[in-house]
Amino acid sequence: MPQCRVPLLFAMLPLVATAAFGQSLELRTAHRQVAELFEQGRYDHAVPFAEETVRLSEQEFGAEHPTTATLIDNLARLHRLQGRLDTAENLYRRGLAIRMVALEMNHPDLAASHDNLGIVYTALERYADAEEQHWEAVRIMGHALARRPHVIDQQSRLAALYKARALYNRARAFEGRQRIVDADHLYEEVVSLFEMHLGADHPDLASPLERRAQLLRQMGRDDEAAELTARAAKVRTTKSP
């Protein structure tokens, strides 16, 4: 049975906001309810309101509109965080299909859709599928950033995090094939990317640190493993910025 709990590595994501223009009061109110319940961690209570935002968006903007895709992604995230991974996958695929038609081929929102699917596949332990989705997100962001290679901003940070997730899943696949040294090197790179773009004490570091500690124990490097385990425990209790 696949592990259904979403790893902390991928859980610290904000609910996506919708465009403010052209929305009815009813849609804005429903979306505000979703956002408030999401912040309170009351995901199950938020689902009916999220479903309502999708219905209203389909009425106001159309079923194939990017705003509808964003609201579908919000609904998918709520299901994912409750372990309803098959439902989340179907919703993320629906949102991706809309964006593939409605947006230009290298739009950052397309990258986000692929990244979200990768997150679901990680939780399902489908590491090769997850890696493929994250690398597609990296490819799209690479095109988006090519026009301004020396600019460091939210998009460049997202691209780096997509890369870290792709490498994380490749490392998990290597573990399954007993390529312990290769997996260790990848986890080390993931940690480096997270440190650079999230900070040395960010809670998302906990998962790759713990995975690497397990590998180091298998290689007989117990002292290093103990240090990483202690650090993982410490950052896991840190409040995400």
- 79 lies in some domain: yes
- 200 lies in some domain: no
Helix pair angle (127-145, 108-123), 10° resolution:
160
Contacts of residue 77, defined as CB under 8 A and 6 or more positions apart, other chains included, come to 13, 15, 88, 116
Helices (H) and strands (E) in the chain, counts: 11, 0
Name the domain count of the chain.
Answer: 1
- The amino acid sitting at 102 is A
- 228 lies in some domain: no
- 224 lies in some domain: no
- 153 lies in some domain: no
Write the CATH number for 35. 1.25.40.10
Q: Are 184 and 205 in contact (CB under 8 A)?
A: no
- 52 lies in some domain: yes
Domain that holds residue 22: 1-102
From first to last of its 241 residues, what are the pLDDT tens digits of the chain? 233 333 333 333 345 555 544 678 999 999 999 999 999 999 999 999 999 999 999 999 999 999 999 999 999 999 999 999 999 999 999 999 999 999 988 888 999 999 999 999 989 999 989 999 999 998 888 876 666 666 667 777 888 888 898 899 999 989 988 999 999 999 999 999 999 888 899 998 999 999 999 999 999 999 999 999 999 999 988 766 5
